[in-house]
Amino acid sequence: MFCYQCQETAKGTGCTIKGVCGKTENVSNLQDLLIYTLKGIATYAVQARELSIVRPDIDKFIMESLFSTITNANFDRSCFVERIQEGLILREGLKQDILKTGGTIPAGLHDAATWTATADQFEAKAVAVGILATENEDVRSLRELLTYGLKGIAAYAEHAYTLEYQESGIFAFVEKALAATLDDTLAVGDLVALVLEAGKYGVDVMALLDQANTTTYGNPELTKVNIGVRNNPAILISGHDLKDLEELLVQTQGTGVDVYTHGEMLPAHYYPAFKKYDNFVGNYGNAWHKQDKEFDSFNGPVFLTTNCLVPPKE
């Protein structure tokens, strides 16, 4: 495997045997193949938009798939196999939509837009299309920097999407940028410009998520948060998804079950909408990377809503 998408990487250069995060070789390689598949889908999606074909299911699939590959989000090999299989089906469906609309498929498309295989062949394919397949180090670095930017955009977009906020321009840029990482005619300067453009869309999607969160749950306000525990049975919730927290609080009202936040869910206490729940009682533990000890000591169910997962012990 080779992965250097986060600050945790071995020796500060890249994880080559197993991810410091806990990611295994086969999961890492399948994530690379999923990204490769998304680039092929994006090649058709760009052309489809030019023909006024917009597939919300394609937008959603790309967004969620990018999100699934970020650091400490998903360590499940079977999930990536299923996503790749679904991606190949969606890619071919989008290709047929283009043809039905009178469009033509250009000759000489990149392999990412044409490859196919059975699930038992995925890992062999993955090894051939990983990060190091791009030989020029500068081009490779810029393509990966752009890809990681898109993963971040996708994560914010997914949270906003969950609250029914979305912007088509963000999806269109993600697809354009993914397709651009396959274009060998783009020089370093072209890729730098795309990375800067990704920064612009990163700000846009953060503004969208801020609008989604504050419109739905109110503007955060300074709040004292209890860090002790009560004697009631309780559920510990971590991650970033405020909608999941809301649904948990609704379902536990009046049951005698308390709810505590952990790690990234701590800021939820600052949103006015959550203060009406008398069983939303405090924060337990520290940062996300202490899950391996604190989830054990909590002695209750743990609800992890999105990313920042430390793989649990058996």
The SS3 call for residue 134 is: coil
Let me know how long the chain is: 314
Indicate the Cα dihedral angle 189, 190, 193, 199, nearest 10°: -120
The mean pLDDT value for 282-292 works out to 93
Whether 204 and 275 map to the same domain: the answer is no
246 and 211 inside one domain: no
Kindly report the CATH number assigned to the domain that includes residue 285.
Answer: 3.40.50.2030
Identify the pLDDT of residue 173: 98
What are residue 282's phi and psi, to 5 degrees?
A: 165, -170
pLDDT in tens, 218-256: 999 999 999 999 999 999 999 999 999 999 999 999 999
Buried b (16+ CB within 10 A) or exposed e, 63-96: bebbbbbbbbbbbebeebbebbeebbebbeebbe
Residue 289 located in a structural domain: yes
Are 29 and 143 within one domain?
yes
Mean pLDDT of the chain: 96
d(Cα 294, Cα 291) in Å, to the nearest integer?
5
Kindly state the percentage of the chain with pLDDT values over 70. Answer: 100
Report pLDDT digits (tens) over 41-99. 999 999 999 999 999 999 999 999 999 999 999 999 999 999 999 999 999 999 999 99
Q: 205, 179, 143, 187: which is closest to 5 by C-alpha?
A: 143
- Which residue range is the domain that position 243 belongs to? 234-304
Q: Please report whether residue 185 resides in a domain.
A: yes
Number of H helices, E strands in the chain: 9, 4
Domain boundary (215, 242, 274) is at: 215
- Tell me whether residue 22 is in a domain: yes
252 and 121 within one domain: no
Tell me the average pLDDT across 118-134: 95
275: confidence class by pLDDT, cuts 50, 70, 90: very high
Same domain flag for 174 and 124: yes
Q: Are residues 35 and 88 in the same domain?
A: yes
Q: What is the pLDDT of residue 40?
A: 98
Backbone angles phi and psi of 129, in degrees to 5? -120, 15
Confidence of residue 313 (pLDDT cuts 50, 70, 90): confident
Read off the pLDDT of each residue in 140-154 and give the average, rounded to a whole number: 98
Contact 3, 131 (CB under 8 A): yes
Co-location of 32 and 130 in the same domain: yes
Q: Check whether residue 208 and residue 286 sit in a common domain.
A: no
Does the pLDDT of residue 314 top 80, yes or no? no
Give the model's pLDDT for residue 295.
Answer: 94
| Residue linked to tokens 């525990």 | 229
Determine the pLDDT at residue 41.
98
**CA-CA distance, 67 to 74, in Å (whole number)?**
9
Distance CA 285, CA 31 (A): 31
The domain boundary residue, chosen from 180, 215, 250: 215
Q: End of a domain among 185, 215, 245?
A: 215
Summarize the confidence of residues 162-185 as an average pLDDT: 98
Q: Same structural domain for residues 39 and 141?
A: yes
Q: What CATH number corresponds to the domain at position 111?
A: 1.20.1270.20
Residue 281 sits at φ, ψ, to 5 deg, of -105, -10
Same domain, 110 and 203: yes
Which pLDDT does position 126 carry in this prediction? Answer: 97
- The answer as to whether 222 is a domain residue is no
Total count of domains within the chain? 2
Categorize the per-residue pLDDT at 138 as very low, low, confident or very high, splitting at 50, 70 and 90: very high
